[in-house]
Amino acid sequence: MAIKTDLFDLTGKVALVTGGASGIGLAIARAFLEHGARVIVGSRTQSKVDDAVRQLDAIIPNDDDDLTVGGVSLDVQSEDSINHAVKKAMDLLGGLHIVVNSAGIMCKKPTFDLTDQEANQLYDIHVTGALRVSQAAGHIFREQHDGCIINIASIGSYVSLTEVTAYACAKSAMMGLTHSLANEWAKYGIRTNGIAPGFIPTDLNRKLIEGTDRGRRILEHTPMARFGDSAEIAGAAVYLASPAASFVNGVTIPVDGGYLACGAGDSVAPWEKDA
């Protein structure tokens, strides 16, 4: 097999990013554009989609002959909405090669108080929603024998986080979905991998970790002694979508500043520097 000279080139690829109008999803969409892909961002809120498209279009502007970015109202709980988004990617940008399942919500409350409805909604959006999107795109990927699925899991897929039980369960299931699709669909030319972000301040969790005791304890157990940035997750997504990862299938990559590696050792708490 010939070795490609530009291992991270996504030129000619079209990506659909669910939850792509903000946070990690938007950062991934931006990075894909910067590496040559064309991108459709999807989110339930049309105004957020429109704003994201404006931001992305400022990076690599659309022209009349060659669109590079588009947006679509997308609800991963609706098969009709998903099919519409996939069709729009095909019609507007001429194909589909990459799907990023980044849509998600948060529910923080004591587990004793968690309702069935809340738990089921989290699971339906994160896991069943990702499955729906993967199935819709997978039919196209199988036909062309070429496709890449990237599921956004979480550090909570690996370790316990208090009072976010439904979220942690859903994100753990995302790893199971990644393994299953990687095993079953590789014969169709489809690679499925995941990313487990560490603690990245976004609209979902900012109030939980910035300036809180929870955030202080997180930093104390993060060897790099800081929160991450959405752009640092996007780098892993570019890798997984690119020719550099052509033999990578079924893995979930933690991007966490060393949080999972942290055991007993010297304190990395930022306030120790002032002691």
| pLDDT score of 275 | 45
Cα four-point dihedral sign 127, 24, 158, 252: positive
Structural tokens at position 24 = 């990690």
Query: Residue 101: what are its φ and ψ, rounded to 5°?
Result: -95, 95
In this prediction, the residues of the chain whose per-residue pLDDT falls under 50 are: 1, 275
CATH code (residue 42): 3.40.50.720
Domain assignment present for 206: no
Q: Which of 158, 167, 239, 259 is catalytic?
A: 167
Query: Residue 213: what are its φ and ψ, rounded to 5°?
Result: -65, -35
| pLDDT score of 66 | 76
Domain assignment present for 87: yes
Other CB atoms closer than 10 Å to residue 144's CB: what's the count? 13
Domain assignment present for 7: no
Query: Residue 90: what are its φ and ψ, rounded to 5°?
Result: -65, -45
**Catalytic (active site) residue 167:** yes
| pLDDT score of 59 | 86
Using CA atoms, how far apart are residues 20 and 150, in angstroms rounded to an integer?
13
pTM for this predicted structure = 0.92
- For residue 128, the 8-state DSSP code is I
Domain assignment present for 274: no
Q: Domain count for the chain, please give it.
A: 1
**At how many degrees (to 10) do helices 129-144 and 165-185 cross?**
20
